[in-house]
Amino acid sequence: MNELSTKLKKIKMLLTDVDGVLTDTGVYYSVSGEELKRFSLRDGMGVERLRELVKVKVGIVSGEKSLLVRKRAEKLDIEEIHLGAKNKIKVLKNICKERGLEYNQIAYIGDDVNDLEIIDAVGVSACPADAMKNVKEKVDIVLENIGGNGAFREFAEIIIEEKLKNKEED
């Protein structure tokens, strides 16, 4: 078993950024403010498959405060939602404390400079194919899919596959 496989086997929670991971970084504004964000339904299925197949919980950690993101999280039954998180490492610390988890039991997917500190701290990290260059250089896995177009699902399936494979070996 290689080092990445060993790390993936320990994962109990996958945390995700929103803009650039669950969305394509685009947002539609009107005179009344933020109106629309595009989410991939495949990513939503990834949340469900993680929960059902390998008992991995999902959480959202985003620097943005968005009612649209809260609604999407509620639809996916994501309980761990941290919006307006300017200090993501502090959020990680609190999640671990509240849930009795170690940093190496957390996976994270992000795409931009505000994700670098948490990427360095967690057990396994990934980014979409269109993430910023300095993020791509730091993560364990650069995914083939771009943000908002299945990147989260791709990472979820990597975790699921590895955990199921390891379950068969036990």
Tell me the pLDDT of the chain averaged across its residues.
94
The confidence band for 170, taking pLDDT boundaries of 50, 70 and 90, is low
Q: What is the pTM of this model?
A: 0.94
Low-confidence winner among 30-44, 86-100, 114-128 (lowest mean pLDDT): 30-44
Query: Sorting pLDDT into bands at 50, 70 and 90, what band is 27?
Result: confident
Cα–Cα distance measured from residue 124 to residue 155, given in angstroms and rounded to the nearest whole number: 10
Long-range contact pairs involving 38-45 (C-beta distance under 8 Å, separation at least 24): 38/148, 39/72, 39/148, 40/148, 40/149, 40/150, 40/152, 40/153, 42/150, 42/153, 43/150, 43/151, 43/152, 43/153, 43/156, 44/72, 44/75, 44/76, 45/153
- Mean pLDDT confidence for 149-161: 98
Q: What pLDDT is stored for residue 31 in this prediction?
A: 86
Q: Give SS3 for 43.
A: helix
pLDDT at residue number 63:
92
d(CA 142, CA 77): 27
Cβ atoms 122, 115 nearer than 8 A? no
Share of the chain above pLDDT 90, in %: 84
Count how many Cα atoms sit within 13 Å of the Cα of residue 91 in the half-sphere of its side chain. Answer: 24
pLDDT (tens digit per residue) in 60-118: 999 999 888 999 999 999 999 999 999 999 999 999 999 999 999 999 999 999 999 99
Q: How much is the pLDDT for 1?
A: 57
Contact 142, 136 (CB under 8 A): yes
List of residues 6+ apart from 74 with CB closer than 8 A = none
Average pLDDT over residues 35-49: 94
